[in-house]
Amino acid sequence: MNSVGEACTELKREYDQCFNRWFAEKFLKGDSAGDPCGQLFKRYQLCVQKAIKEKDIPIEGLEFMGPSKGKPENSS
């Protein structure tokens, strides 16, 4: 499947390959340590965010998974 932005499709493929390799070779064997694909994901995420802005795709009100998912906004 291609990405939302044509320029992001190759980054998506690279990230998908990295994740699938990590999932099969590490995670399913009990090794969930580390984040070998984190930098690829960040590059892909930035590309997608740029494509969304360029295509003027409305995203207000959509929920995204991420580090703050499920946490109160003012957690002290």
Q: What is the pLDDT of residues 59-73, one digit of tens each?
A: 776 666 555 555 444
Neighbours of 16 (CB within 10 A): 14
pLDDT tens for residues 22-56?
999 999 999 988 889 999 999 999 999 898 888 88
Phi/psi of residue 70, nearest 5 degrees: 85, -5
Task: Indicate the helix (H) or strand (E) that contains 53.
Answer: helix 38-54
Q: Where along the chain do its domains lie?
A: 6-55
Helix (H, G, I), strand (E, B) or coil at 21: helix
Query: Model's pTM, two decimal places?
Result: 0.69
